[in-house]
Amino acid sequence: MASAASRPAQPQGATGVLILADGTVIWGKGFGATGDAVGEVCFNTSMTGYQEVMTDPSYAAQIVTFTFPHIGNVGTNAEDIESRVEGAVGCVVREEVTPASNFRSEQQFTEWMEANDKIGLSGVDTRALTRRIRLAGAPNAVIAHSPEGKFDIDALIAKAQGWAGLEGMDLASRVTREALEDWRGSYWRLGHGYGEGPDVSPHVVAIDYGAKDNIFRNLVRAGAKVTVVPATTSLEEILALKPDGVFLSNGPGDPAATGEYAVPVIKALLDMDMPLFGICLGHQMLALAAGAKTIKMHQGHRGANHPVQRVGNTWQTSRDLVEITSMNHGFAVDAATLPPDVEQTHVSLFDGSNCGIAIKGKRAFGVQYHPEASPGPQDSFYLFEKFVGGLG
């Protein structure tokens, strides 16, 4: 850890700081909420959709470094929120947030960050910070904002060092909804807002481990009636809803920790040949239920420009096709641990890590990436069509 004498002096006008657990102090200009927050520092390479990123529950207990320099310049609005529960605790950006210039903007990003209790830090060399994460891994850190520029650096370092980190942490139970919900909203169209899905079958029960709302909208768009249930819903409660299929959502934290209560339910659903579709955390826990293992990644995958190749025999008509996908995960399925009855269907072209599985002899599959495209490309909507189209 850097000694007090070797730390960089606080620049004049600095009202925000990011402090890594190794004692590194990064100064900047704070915005949004005041105070401090602890989390794991990651980076996201998306050029658009910062509001969706900040409200994605999968970013719970994380501080997002945006590699795109102009964050906040289109403002915020009520329609682009992915969830009302906890998302990222803060963000780090290169340029100072400028006044919004967009016809859909309803509130300045700085004001929205303050209203949603999220801390921002601008004026940081985000390229250098991203490179540090790539080389050394995602660090634990504290982000702090004081309009008066007053910080207890030693106390903040101690807080960063005292945080246990994401490995072994179940966050799904913290961000899931508290009660069952009959979901109605469909996809968004300019000038029309979000449509409403009809009360039709097939019926999908979606388990919310920290889901993005756009996933439910895409299930409705694909033709499903959707009922969303909390992460800890029992097998008996799920079956009482008479589902034609069960969806396993994305979410934050360590899949092995969440799997302690989720995997037994998923295993039971597999045993009765219930059609299953998992995204991100849901994909990882489907793999755990099938006998595979998950691992903590060095830096994770986060952004809307990740190439994924379809492999294996499950996607026979489109084998080797490459999709550009949206990703947000710091854990992954260890492909080396996949049992013989689990086929790898997708792989990352960045690092070869697992991005999809299908369980042989079962109507169950999952993908590591986010086919709901919010924000991001729309190459992967076929997954919703495959899942919903196979029900009945």
Catalytic residues: 280, 370, 372
Q: CB-side exposure of 348: number of CA atoms within 13 Å?
A: 22
- Asked, as a colleague might, if the bond just before 377 is cis with ω within 30 of 0, I would say no
Q: Could you give the 3-state DSSP secondary structure of residue 336?
A: helix
d(CA 255, CA 298): 16
Find all residues with CB under 8 Å of 71, minimum gap 6, and list them.
50, 91, 93, 94, 95, 97, 109
DSSP 8-class letter at 139: P
Q: Which amino acid is at 289?
A: A
Q: Could you give the 3-state DSSP secondary structure of residue 316?
A: helix
User: Read out DSSP for 39-70?
Assistant: EEEEEE--SS-HHHHHT-GGGTTEEEEESSS-
d(CA 160, CA 169): 16
d(CA 16, CA 133): 20
The candidate with the shortest Cα–Cα distance to 370, out of 310, 311, 312, 308, is 308
Question: In this structure, are residues 331 and 284 in contact, taking their beta carbons and an 8 Å threshold?
Answer: yes
Question: In this structure, are residues 358 and 312 in contact, taking their beta carbons and an 8 Å threshold?
Answer: yes
- Strand residues in 169-250 grouped as ranges (E): 181-183, 185-189, 193-196, 203-208, 225-230, 245-248
d(CA 355, CA 369): 7
DSSP 8-class letter at 290: T
Burial zone of 160 (CB within 10 Å; 0-12 exposed, 13-18 middle, 19+ buried): buried
Distance of CA 360 to the CA centre of its chain: 28
